[in-house]
Structure 1
Amino acid sequence: MPNMTWLADVLRQGGLKVQEEGGWQTRGHGEMGDVRGILLHHTAGPAEGNYPSLNIVRDGDASLPGPRAQLGLARDGTWIVIAAGVAYHAGKGGPWESVPKDEGNEYMIGVEAESVGTHPDWTPEQLDSYPRGVAVLLRHVHQPASRAIGHKEWAPERKSDPAFWPGDMDGFRKEVERHLSGQGGPAPAPPQPGPGEPQPGGREFGTWGTGVKVHSEPKLDSPVVHTINGPTKVTVDFQQRGDLVNTDGFSNPWWAHIPQFNGFMTNIYIDHPDSLLPGVPQR
């Protein structure tokens, strides 16, 4: 059984922004051994989006099943908790410190940080959050900054990640050590969203369609509190079964609660193929 069910709480207690993927506590390829290090990656994913690599990191594909890391790091500095058990992220490499050759998956937490990997594109939020979060994790497992290792150090003949980090891996570890020694200061307060902007505490989606009604309750006859007039980014903090909606060739009884508009919209107009949104709590 996956055993690192402390990940989300520890990161939050360290002042980091955290998003939990549904089912992460039971996701993984068995139990981890004792954690002996943290293996750092970049996703080599798309240039646009906050964490567009989520599906491949969480679910994998025919070439390698997911999870491919326990944690993701989005461009806005949010830590995405994906799995509590073993993830397939290290591959052949090592040995390194006390991690045996080719056994990185069993003894190292994997972090896939969003970056194209072909040129410097680390955001200011990632430059702060990546070493800060790694320090929080290392402190919890009683390991020093030297136990943060790049994938390119584990497997130098075949890997280059994380690429283009300022100061490379030595610079990264210096930042981790600064936080471990208490010199890093508290995490900066995230900017407060304005009216109509996605709010923290949920999962972000896009919408489709025009004239989409947001109701005060998940009922078609409840008051309309807002109208979405075109594709919009929204945060969904929970979903709830309500009136069955039949429209545009779709039928769905599930409604998404949108805190930025303080109301509910049918899941039909959330731009996702599933009728029940993944990673979003149900009420």
Structure 2
Amino acid sequence: MTPAQLLSQLKKWGVKYKEYEDWEEHNRNHKGPWGPVYGFMWHHTGTDNKDQRLLLRKGYSELPGPLCHFGIAQDGTCWLIGWGRANHAGSGDDDVLRAVINESRKPTDDEANTDGNRHFYGAEFWYSGNHAMTQAQYETGILLSCAINDFHGWNEESEIGHGEWQPGKWDPGIRSGDMEDMNRVRRDIAARQKMGPKPVASNNQKTQTYREVWDLDVAPAPKGHDTGGNKYRAPISLLVWIAEQQDVINKKLDEIMKRLDG
């Protein structure tokens, strides 16, 4: 992807992003080729600092930046850090790369004989790895994966964790030394990708919709429910709760009908 194509994909899939300095031209291309790119790698940064943009852009003496293409903040914002070759993947297993290319099950990484910086997009999630990433980070990672896959015609088997690529690594982590279940991640990517790029309403978006539609005069709202400043207006939070129970209600009705049919 070109930077312009990337921005188009992020908008198409509703990825919340921000641009950091001259990310479109910030890379390590003078140290080697970038591409062909075959997959997308998930990492954690190893720290819970709230602003890690400068670190990811500049790196440090032993490992100059950019250290990734995407930096995923705790609130789910995707910061665009660099575009081109980046120091994120390092050397890894050629058998794993072959599985990514073939979109097949990943073998155990037991070699470090292949340049991963050339062949992978990389996202650094801003957290230590001693605990799980935030739900907002996870959801952005899923959407970002879908946006990349959609452009290239890839499926979920094109995503891997750093710990599946390079021996000794365990990121993205859920606790010290333990990696996120990347098979679960890939299942979630597949499910979201199947839905396509249509937006999925958040609770806040749902509430806004109900504020526009449910402007009814009713009995006084129950205590503790938001009424939008009018004690006789339909309680918004209650309406949201009712709507969110619809799936549960439908499942119960299906169970009842199956029993009756039986």
TM norm. shorter chain > 0.5: yes
Q: Which moved more, 1:56-65 or 1:29-38?
A: 29-38
- Separation in 2, partners of 1:90, 1:167: 17
Q: Equivalent residue for 1:162?
A: 172
Moved over 6 A (4+): none
Q: Equivalent residue for 1:119?
A: 131
Q: Equivalent residue for 1:9?
A: 8
Deviations 1:237-273 (A, max 9, x none): xxxxxxxxxxxxxxxxxxxxxxxxxxxxxxxxxxxxx
Q: CA deviation at 1:7?
A: 2.2
More strand by share: 1
Aligned residues of 1:15 and 1:186 also touching (Cα < 8 A): yes
1:151 to 144, 156, 162: 162
Q: Which structure 2 residues correspond to residues 78-227 of structure 1 after superposition, within 5 A?
A: 78-95=77-94, 96-98=96-98, 101-120=113-132, 122-155=133-166, 157-164=167-174, 168-182=181-195, 186-189=199-202
Structure 1 residues 146 and 26: CA distance shift in structure 2, 3 A: same
Aligned residues of 2:41 and 2:122 also touching (Cα < 8 A): yes
Aligned residues of 2:18 and 2:80 also touching (Cα < 8 A): yes
Aligned residues of 2:70 and 2:124 also touching (Cα < 8 A): yes
Instruction: Name the aligned partner's letter for residue 144 of structure 2.
Output: G
Q: Percent identity?
A: 27
RMSD: 2.6
- Gaps of at least 5 residues in structure 2 are 102-111, 206-262
Structure 1 residues 154 and 167: CA distance shift in structure 2, 3 A: closer
Structure 1 residues 26 and 183: CA distance shift in structure 2, 3 A: closer
Q: Equivalent residue for 2:39?
A: 37
Aligned residues of 1:25 and 1:83 also touching (Cα < 8 A): yes
Instruction: Name the aligned partner's letter for residue 114 of structure 2.
Output: D
Aligned residues of 2:93 and 2:165 also touching (Cα < 8 A): yes
- Separation in 2, partners of 1:149, 1:124: 19
Structure 1 residues 3 and 173: CA distance shift in structure 2, 3 A: same
Deviations 1:203-250 (A, max 9, x none): xxxxxxxxxxxxxxxxxxxxxxxxxxxxxxxxxxxxxxxxxxxxxxxx
- Separation in 2, partners of 1:21, 1:147: 26
Aligned residues of 2:13 and 2:146 also touching (Cα < 8 A): no
Q: CA deviation at 1:60?
A: 0.7
Deviations 1:8-50 (A, max 9, x none): 331122101110111111111125212200011011113x52x
Q: Equivalent residue for 1:203?
A: none
Q: Equivalent residue for 1:20?
A: 19
More helix by share: 2
Secondary structure of 2:60's counterpart equals coil
Instruction: Name the aligned partner's letter for residue 170 of structure 1.
Output: N
Q: TM-score, normalised by structure 1?
A: 0.60
Aligned residues of 2:12 and 2:197 also touching (Cα < 8 A): no
Q: How many residue pairs were aligned? A: 186
Aligned residues of 1:179 and 1:185 also touching (Cα < 8 A): no
